[in-house]
Amino acid sequence: MHSSTIASVALFVASTLAYPTPTGSSVADIAGGSAPNGTPPKNISAAAIADFQGVNFLENMEAAFFEQGLENLTAWNHHGELDAAIEVVTRVHAQELIHVQTAKNILNHFQKPTFEPCQYQFPVTNAEEFLDLANIITSAGIGAVINVASSLALTDPSLVQGPASILSSEARHDAFFRIAALDIVPNPTPFDTRISAAYALNLASPFIVPGSCAAMPKFPTIPPLAQIKPRYHQHGTTGTDVPIQFAVDAQALHRAGALFIGWVNQANVVNYTPAKMVGTGVVETVIPEGLGGMAFAALTNTQTATDVNTLTGLTLAGPAPVQIS
């Protein structure tokens, strides 16, 4: 679809949304439903506890992001141009709170520790930046929940349904953000991209005010990798087969040898491209053919890992979200 067509779809959505939020309604009313009310299984694996703690921790951040965003959008909405975004984000916020509750209910049932929200800082000064970051945060969240569902399928099959149902709900959020923020198609690819819990937590880290969490899940800290060229925030797409540069702390490359970017995308094995230093703390590579949607790039010095969880242990810096299409 051409981007002007998408713009008119967005306008159409804006002019036809007709679900005003009733004042005084509960979170479940606004969200459109409550946390699952079935009986949890008799037992739960240690891996599943870590998975739901990760979901609890990350969804706390998402809920806070959308709560702040909703306040901001309301303040920034001078001529009704943000009405549609406010309608949608009102529900997104409530739905994230229900997702937090879903994870907490399971953890409480098994008398396992839960996480309370931290303080957060988001690099957002206007509606465009908010919607743009909403797309990145939601894509990373979807990637983490794909990992949770895949892992639960092996250890705790009876717990898969909750995260599986969360995935399609979050994908609907992201479809809106893609149109509203970037004016790009809501459905770029047949698959979304799985990321590891450690990747998700490292991507969340910059948004957490240091020292503000009463407790945090344990995770390995990986030095950051930041896309610098082509710039992400351009209302455009990066495409494939084009040069791309990332900023990285030069310390992370100390005696690294040959460098590669491992590309994590859709349900495929990791795709590697050779990377070279082109300046202090700047690495360059080419985006390979065949990627789509949101890819995650990791700097590494081996090409052995085929899946994201193995690549995580071999990541020198990253991941960086890269909007391909």
Ligand X SMILES: *[C@@H]1O[C@H](CO)[C@@H](O)[C@H](O)[C@H]1NC(C)=O
Residues of this chain that bind ligand X (CB under 6 A): 43-45, 65, 68-69, 72, 122, 124-125, 130, 155-156
Cβ pair 178, 186 in contact under 8 A: yes
Minimal distance, residue 187 CB to ligand X, in Å: 25
Q: Which residues contact 138 (CB under 8 A, 6 or more apart)?
A: 62, 170, 173, 174, 177
Residue 228 neighbours by CB under 8 Å, 6+ apart: 245, 246, 247, 282
Determine contact, residues 309/292, Cβ cutoff 8 Å: no
Shortest gap between Cβ of 20 and ligand X (angstroms)?
A: 22
- With respect to ligand X, which residue has the nearer C-beta, 51 or 156? 156
Distance CA 272, CA 282 (A): 18
The nearest distance, CB 305 to ligand X, in angstroms, is 27
Dihedral (CA of 156, 321, 262, 252) sign:
negative
Please identify, using beta-carbon distances, which residue of 54 and 262 lies nearer to ligand X: 54
Length of the chain: 325
CB of 122 to ligand X, least distance (A): 4
Pick 44 or 195: Cβ nearer ligand X: 44
Q: How far is the CB of 143 from ligand X (least distance, A)?
A: 20
Quick one: 69 or 224, whose CB is closer to ligand X?
69
Q: Which is nearer to ligand X, 57 or 122 (CB)?
A: 122
148 vs 165: CA distance, rounded Å: 12
Q: Would you state the structure tokens that stand for residue 35, as one six-digit string? A: 């946390």
